[in-house]
Amino acid sequence: NAILLQLIVFKAFYKEKAALICKIKTNGILYLCGMLKTTLLNAVNAGANEIRRYYNGSFTISNKEGINNLVTEADHASEKAIFDVIKKEFPNHFILSEETGEIVTNSEYKWIIDPIDGTVNFANGIPLCCVSIGVEHNGKMVLGAVYAPILNEMYFAETKKGATLNDKKIQVSNKQELVNSCLVTGFPYTYLDSPNGPLQIFEKLIRCGIPVRRLGSAAIDLCWVAAGRFDGFYEHKLAAWDSAAGFLLVKEAGGKITDFKGNDFSPYQPHILATNGKIHEQLQAVVNGAQVKNASSL
Ligand code: IPD
Ligand code: CA
Ligand code: CA
């Protein structure tokens, strides 16, 4: 009887799997996309719950490479909660995540995860922190979600379907001139000085009276370009998990995103230039050493 029961359970399990595969084949990408999207939203929510749980509470903090490059107990808790959600639905998918590194498989799908972007903010009780997850299919970013739970802002983008903030469509700004723009940047933990390095470019822009903010979360910087709050963002040394989701947000909100040379952006190289498209060439020139046009220096 026990063997018979096992056989029935086994058959039912495979019938369900077979039905699922069948459904995927029938409805094609649509069905799988639905599952991917649901899993992505569940995963960012699971990570965000950990941010909420630890925010302003007590947690252990340790240092990574460089000074004040922190990792907290909450980063690990968020990463674990995210992994649990993804692995339950897609145990064979490839994962690249900041605190764990790569979980290599031969899947066409890759989840690129920053369990907390803006850890220094988080550790200081500054609400500019988020979970950021991008999903690649065969090397192309197809889904991205950034959830900043303390701000209650959920950003989501799906390739060719636009970008949203809390389910409302968002678009990049319409600013035409760099001199009138509001920009954001970030500074790496370990490298600042070099010709056209982060400090030189920052100085050049602010000496022209251009506001350049520094939020401390690259994923939020990108989402705020997508939402039209900033006209442009540049940074010199990002990792794939910082930019994967925000990259798609900017693209889908009608913006432009490249490396410093103007090549199509890849999250696997460090330089990022993301704008509303209109000021892109002007900002690109400045990042590469030019002076700001039509500006008087302060
Ligand atoms: C950092 C933030 C910051 C950027 C750093 C990143 P983390 O990520 O995105 O804005 O300037 O380069 O490392 O360490 O908070 O996940
Ligand atoms: Ca990060
Ligand atoms: Ca992080």
Give the pLDDT confidence score for residue 219 in this predicted structure. 98
Give the pLDDT confidence score for residue 4 in this predicted structure. 58
Whether residue 66 is predicted with pLDDT greater than 80 in this model: the reply is no
Q: Are 221 and 198 in contact (CB under 8 A)?
A: no
Centroid of ligand 2 to alpha carbon of 126 (angstroms): 15
Strand-pair category, 163-165 with 130-137: unpaired
Place of tokens 């000074």: 67
Q: Determine the atom of ligand 1 nearest the C-alpha atom of 221.
A: 10
Element (H, E) at 110: strand 109-117
Give the pLDDT confidence score for residue 18 in this predicted structure. 44
Query: How many helices and strands (H and E) does the chain possess?
Result: 8, 15
Q: Determine the atom of ligand 1 nearest the C-alpha atom of 214.
A: 10
Centroid of ligand 1 to alpha carbon of 210 (angstroms): 23
3-class secondary structure, 197: coil
Place of tokens 């609400």: 127
CA distance 186 to 184: 7
In this prediction, residue 39 has a pLDDT band, given cuts at 50, 70 and 90, of: very high
Whether residue 26 is predicted with pLDDT greater than 90 in this model: the reply is no
Whether residue 175 is predicted with pLDDT greater than 60 in this model: the reply is yes
Give the pLDDT confidence score for residue 2 in this predicted structure. 61
Ligand 1 pocket, residue 136 CB under 6 Å: no
Q: What is the mean pLDDT of residues 244-270?
A: 98
* Mean pLDDT of all residues belonging to the chain: 91
Residue of the nearest CA to atom 16 in ligand 1?
117
Q: pTM above 0.75?
A: yes
Q: Determine the atom of ligand 1 nearest the C-alpha atom of 116.
A: 16
Catalytic residues: 98, 114, 116-117, 119, 242
pLDDT in tens, 72-95: 999 999 999 999 999 999 999 999
Ligand nearest to the CA of 241: 2
* Rounded percentage of the chain residues whose pLDDT exceeds 90: 78
